């Protein structure tokens, strides 16, 4: 007889409270099976969610969501939460256009309070919510689930400092300690938490002292009270949880994060305490899927479409990515330049620095999820005589803008920042598109930013970048497959001033300037215009910032300049070129194509680009329309 599915009976978190222990155990197994089946078909953050099944169930059994807000930091560990809050049907289209977001999303459910996907922010949200409820006289408890390395971020400790100052806040901090972010978590805090997993001496020692000393006639209790004053010292030696009690925050743990009964009991105690409590849970990332547990690199932190049994990718990678090209460039530079070192913010393998680390293990520094520290530390490395290369996702460089501006650039330190996943990334939604970096970094005096169009240009950019000893250099590139090489037919200028001509059309009055991944689109647009009898030349400046004199001079020779950039239009290089031409009194019209100033819903990169009108066919139609509209007024631009 087939066993009835428990998962099918769960329509809201309250349904968990009527289940027996056997049913809860069955439900946990069914959730893991559901996750493996669904995520293997769509891709997504599989490993983190397999590790928090019992933990999320326990939270929802104890707390009353959505009245009690549950905030996940980082948000990619919220799949089980979505399952328990009635969204199982949406997993067939997880991270797809119109489907479930891969992160909490308030537009999806009242159970999602914060659309959080960047790490180390949830404690600040939680502290603010709890403080607000307190002021409004509302008896509600805020739960913050901190995991996957988020406690290595400095903002989390700023929040803890403020939480410690308010003992009246109903706030439960659940530390999902799986020892990893993408890869094993690094740093002193991580080492402290690791010690908690193995050192059982603290409670045993305190119990022995209390039993022995208080048993002494007459003087026992006074001596114990005196010794109690030294308890902090005992705790410092025997157990790292003292860091939390020293902050004045109640602590419980470490707990088995897969023991539902234990978790439920301790969370209930934390709920009743009425003040800030840290509940430390030790979990296993990828639990229940042997292929994930055995995957040493990241335990299937994020996967594409995979075989649900073996974990093998369903499609073999036959073409190298930009990340692969950067990885090769770093190894080559490391061999040539002993002063080159790598810095990563908990993303050694995703950014491609893993190969460099394997080749030069003494020259790699993983600082945890701490982009601000990564940049400021890199400035110190540069001042010591080294040349650090800081590899980040483009969306995360936003977090380190102040350090780039005032720690690195102001001090004229020679550091290079490699920005992976620049431009539209798509499936991870609005927070992960790398669409702000050129607009932001263009504000930094002296900074140079390259947008290579192919692997050869990436290598050239990295070679130039690490030779700069008195300024910040940035190299940005897409997460997509490497395009075929786009050779130039001519060029102007050299070094940082160089501008390549990819297509030269005799008598053309239109210049199309393509940056980075959009250089190939620029050629396609020119070809489509040519098919309609409108000639256009194509230029590709390797270094997008600052604008080069040869590019300004070249652009001034055309009546219409079209710029294509995988970045915001506002504050982007197209607008900068328009302003520069105006400053020089040049009458060239400039059409700028890029990303509008709004948050973009998740979907594939191609779907997002098409919606934005950023395909070769859509751009060429707009340019052609502009040309035809101008013909009656101005004879300068006319179809041949």
Beta strand 416-420 with 499-503 is unpaired
Please check whether residue 563 is in contact with residue 595, taking contact to mean a CB–CB distance below 8 angstroms: no
Q: Pick the catalytic residue: 285, 355, 421, 528?
A: 285
Cis omega (within 30 of 0) for bond into 546: yes
Q: Pick the catalytic residue: 32, 61, 284, 399?
A: 399
DSSP secondary structure letter of residue 321: B
**Percentages (nearest 5) of helix, strand, coil residues in the chain:** 45, 15, 40
Q: Is 371 labeled as catalytic in the residue annotation?
A: yes
Q: Is 399 labeled as catalytic in the residue annotation?
A: yes
- The residue among 51, 93, 95 whose CA lies nearest residue 72 is 51
Distances (CA, A) of 387 to 324, 403, 417, 448, 512: 21, 17, 11, 15, 35
Q: How many CB atoms lie within 10 A of CB 507?
A: 7
| Alpha-carbon gap, residue 566 to 234, rounded angstroms | 56
DSSP secondary structure letter of residue 397: G
Q: Pick the catalytic residue: 54, 127, 328, 371?
A: 371
Contacts of 333 (CB under 8 A, 6+ apart): 340, 389, 462, 463, 466
| Alpha-carbon gap, residue 410 to 471, rounded angstroms | 9
| Alpha-carbon gap, residue 179 to 195, rounded angstroms | 11
Would you call 563 helix, strand, or coil by DSSP?
strand
Q: For residue 492, list its beta bridge partners.
A: 499
Would you call 174 helix, strand, or coil by DSSP?
strand
288-295 CB contacts, 8 Å cutoff, 24+ apart: 288/29, 288/32, 288/36, 288/50, 288/53, 289/32, 289/36, 289/46, 289/50, 292/46, 292/47, 292/50, 295/47
Please check whether residue 276 is in contact with residue 169, taking contact to mean a CB–CB distance below 8 angstroms: yes
Please check whether residue 45 is in contact with residue 302, taking contact to mean a CB–CB distance below 8 angstroms: yes
Q: Is 293 labeled as catalytic in the residue annotation?
A: no
* Strand spans (E) along 473-578: 473-476, 490-492, 499-503, 510-514, 536-541, 543-545, 560-568
**Catalytic residue positions?**
285, 371, 399
């Amino acid at each position: 007889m087939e066993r009835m599915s428990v998962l099918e009976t769960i329509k809201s978190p309250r349904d968990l409270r009527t289940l027996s222990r056997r049913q809860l155990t069955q439900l946990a197994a069914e959730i893991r099976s559901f996750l493996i089946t669904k995520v293997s078909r769509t891709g997504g953050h599989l490993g983190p969610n397999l590790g928090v099944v019992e933990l999320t169930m326990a939270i929802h059994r104890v707390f009353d969501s959505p009245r009690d807000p549950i905030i996940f930091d980082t948000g990619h560990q919220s799949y089980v939460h979505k399952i328990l809050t009635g969204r199982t049907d949406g997993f067939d289209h997880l991270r797809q256009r119109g489907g479930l977001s891969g992160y909490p999303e308030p537009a999806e459910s009242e159970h999602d309070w914060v659309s959080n996907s960047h790490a180390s922010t949830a404690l600040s949200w939680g502290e603010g919510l709890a403080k607000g409820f307190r002021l409004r006289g509302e008896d509600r408890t805020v739960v913050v689930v901190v995991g996957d390395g988020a406690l290595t971020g400095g903002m989390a400790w700023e929040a803890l400092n403020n939480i410690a100052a308010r003992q009246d806040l109903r706030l439960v901090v659940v530390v999902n300690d799986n020892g990893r972010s993408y890869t094993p978590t690094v740093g002193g805090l991580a080492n402290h938490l690791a010690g908690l997993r193995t050192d059982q001496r603290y409670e045993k020692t305190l119990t022995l002292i209390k039993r022995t000393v208080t048993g002494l006639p007459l003087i026992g209790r006074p001596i114990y009270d005196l010794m109690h004053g030294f308890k902090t010292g005992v705790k410092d030696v025997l157990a790292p949880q003292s860091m939390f009690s020293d902050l004045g925050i109640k602590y419980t743990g470490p707990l088995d994060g897969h023991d539902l009964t234990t978790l439920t009991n301790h969370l209930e105690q934390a709920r009743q305490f009425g003040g800030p409590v840290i509940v430390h849970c030790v979990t296993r990332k990828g639990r229940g899927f042997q292929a994930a547990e055995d995957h040493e690199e990241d335990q299937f932190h994020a996967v594409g479409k995979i075989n649900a049994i073996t974990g093998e990718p369903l499609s073999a990678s036959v073409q190298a990515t930009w990340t692969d090209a950067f990885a090769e460039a770093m190894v080559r530079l490391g061999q040539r330049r002993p002063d080159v070192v790598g810095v990563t913010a908990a993303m050694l393998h995703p950014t491609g620095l893993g190969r460099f680390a394997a080749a030069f293990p003494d020259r790699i520094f993983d600082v945890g999820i701490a982009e601000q520290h990564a940049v400021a530390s890199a400035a110190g490395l540069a001042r010591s005589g080294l040349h650090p290369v800081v590899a980040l996702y483009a969306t995360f460089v936003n977090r380190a803008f102040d350090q780039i501006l005032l720690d690195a650039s102001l001090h004229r330190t020679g550091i290079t920042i490699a920005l992976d996943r620049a431009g539209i990334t798509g499936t991870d939604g609005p927070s992960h598109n790398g669409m702000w970096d050129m607009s932001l970094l263009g504000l930094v005096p002296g900074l140079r930013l390259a947008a290579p169009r192919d692997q050869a240009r990436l290598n050239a950019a990295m070679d130039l970048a690490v030779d700069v000893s008195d300024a910040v250099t940035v190299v940005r590139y897409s997460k997509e497959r490497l395009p075929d090489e786009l050779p130039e037919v001519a060029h102007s200028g050299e070094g940082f001033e160089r501008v390549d001509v990819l297509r030269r059309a005799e008598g053309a009055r239109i210049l199309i300037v393509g940056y980075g991944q959009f250089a190939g689109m620029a050629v396609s647009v020119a070809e489509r215009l040519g098919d309609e009898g409108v000639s256009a030349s194509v230029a590709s400046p390797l270094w997008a910032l600052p604008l080069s004199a040869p590019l300004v001079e070249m652009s001034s020779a055309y009546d219409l300049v079209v710029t294509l950039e995988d970045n915001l239009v506002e504050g982007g290089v197209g607008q900068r070129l328009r302003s520069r031409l105006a400053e020089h009194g040049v009458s060239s019209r400039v059409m700028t194509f890029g990303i509008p100033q709004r948050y973009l819903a998740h979907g594939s990169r191609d779907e997002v680009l098409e919606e934005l009108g950023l395909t070769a066919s859509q751009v060429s139609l707009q340019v052609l329309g502009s040309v035809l509209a101008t013909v009656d007024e101005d004879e300068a631009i006319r179809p041949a």
